[in-house]
Chains A and B, each alone.
Chain A
Amino acid sequence: MIIQRSDEVPDITLLKRFPVPRNFGVSAGSRIGKGRTWPAPGGAARIRRFDVYRYDPDSDGNPRIDTFHVDLDDCGPMVLDALIWIKNRIDPSLTFRRSCREGVCGSCAMNIDGTNWLACTRFISDLATPATIYPLANMSIIKDLVADLTHLFAQHRLVEPWLRSRTSAPERERLQSPDERHRLDGLYECIMCFCCTSGCPSHWWNGDRFLGPAVLLQANRWLTDSRDEATGERLDDLEDPFRLYRCHTILNCTRTCPKGLNPGKAIADIKKMLIERRG
């Protein structure tokens, strides 16, 4: 099956998950236990089952999977609507991030049916039965679906995502030709949802040092900016077996980006720049 756009949900999947043990490499505190099954709402005609990852930092318990039944006739069309419905009607303690509910803030990124996406732009009708909702993969979990993004934003800060210029500030704005501006297309639209980084196997195994696709796409955004004058230093800081070269062009990032961006290509472009400046 040929996927053409990242928003396509595959309807045939040979393997639902990799054939590894459920607790493969999982520390004791991260093991997922059996959770609670909440009864289906009475009198509902169309019901959908949601299996949702829960973690309560204020108890001693491990993470668990709770099962909810959502009344589709009482709920909006998106996964985020279902989560809000659960929070309003069933369990007010269900915790998740959301803000814009239209795919521009990046808050509601989570693992939906095994791939990362924004809850506000995934239709409930596209879900598997039962639907499985996990937080972004491979994240330290604060509560339920809320992941700790501190390290990822620190990695973002590391690439100095701002204009670095030695030319003194002009009277008015720093100019850019339309062509130079167009080169930023496909880079500036990133909403830092970290769907890509959290879906990157290389970041799972070496996330402490590998910067991951979201941050490297941003690094490329500043390398590409015609007004920036620190390209050389930026490349110096990226040229590292782990920071950059842990990317093995797996391309899970490009497959999953909910904004249809291409972090894999952005990273390949950085590698090409590093080759180019050698010879």
Chain B
Amino acid sequence: MTRTQMRSALGKAVGLGSARDGVENWLLERVSAVALIPLTLWFTVSTVMHAGDDYATVMAWLRRPVTTTLMALLLMALFHHTALGLQVIIEDYVHSRMKVLLLVGMRLGCLAMAVTGLVATLKIAFGA
């Protein structure tokens, strides 16, 4: 028998103890979810309204300050929510050393996507 097998059941259950953390992530996932309800509905309705429209019309819509503002908010809330959701999924299913790598990669990916989307939105708004 190895030492680890002789650890008491309570010792194993306690593990490294409570992180005294978790409310924050949980709350932010909900807050971003609430924000996404109007934002995603706005986006869905808008895209449906522009179904079949040509480039010029779509660009005219995208250039409106309201669109730029809402699109920026949508991108930030969307990728924040995505990052928190994917974090939970990775933590649930990945138990190897890959976990940290995946978490960091996922975070960076979400951040990169959010920034790219924002830059594109601003370029459309202020570009030539």
Residues of A whose CB lies within 8 Å of any CB of B are: 150-151, 153-155, 157-158, 202, 205-206, 208-209, 236-246, 248, 271, 274-275, 278
Main secondary structure of the interface of A (DSSP, over half): helix
Which residue of the partner chain, among A208, A239, A244, contacts B12 with CB atoms under 8 Å? A208
27 A/B residue pairs, CB under 8 Å, sorted by A: A150-B9, A151-B13, A154-B9, A155-B13, A157-B10, A158-B13, A158-B14, A202-B92, A236-B18, A236-B20, A237-B18, A239-B20, A239-B22, A239-B23, A240-B18, A240-B19, A240-B20, A240-B21, A240-B22, A241-B91, A242-B19, A243-B18, A244-B22, A245-B22, A271-B26, A275-B27, A278-B23
**A208 & B22 in contact (Cβ 8 Å cutoff):** no
User: Closest residue of chain B to A153, judged by CB?
Assistant: B9
Residues of B whose CB lies within 8 Å of any CB of A are: 8-10, 12-15, 18-23, 25-27, 88, 91-93
Which residues of chain B are near A208, meaning CB under 8 Å? Answer: 12, 15
**A151 & B92 in contact (Cβ 8 Å cutoff):** no
Which residue of the partner chain, among B13, B18, B88, contacts A239 with CB atoms under 8 Å? B18
Complex Cα distance, B11 from A80, in Å, reads 35
Q: Knowing that A239-B22, A248-B88 touch, tell me 6 more A-B residue pairs with CB under 8 angstroms.
A: A208-B15, A239-B20, A239-B21, A241-B25, A245-B26, A275-B27
User: Closest residue of chain A to B92, judged by CB?
Assistant: A205
B51 CB to closest chain A CB (Å) equals: 34
Complex Cα distance, B24 from A278, in Å, reads 10
Interface centre among B13, B23, B25 (most CB of A within 10 A): B13
Which residue of the partner chain, among B12, B14, B22, B27, contacts A241 with CB atoms under 8 Å? B22
Complex Cα distance, B91 from A165, in Å, reads 36
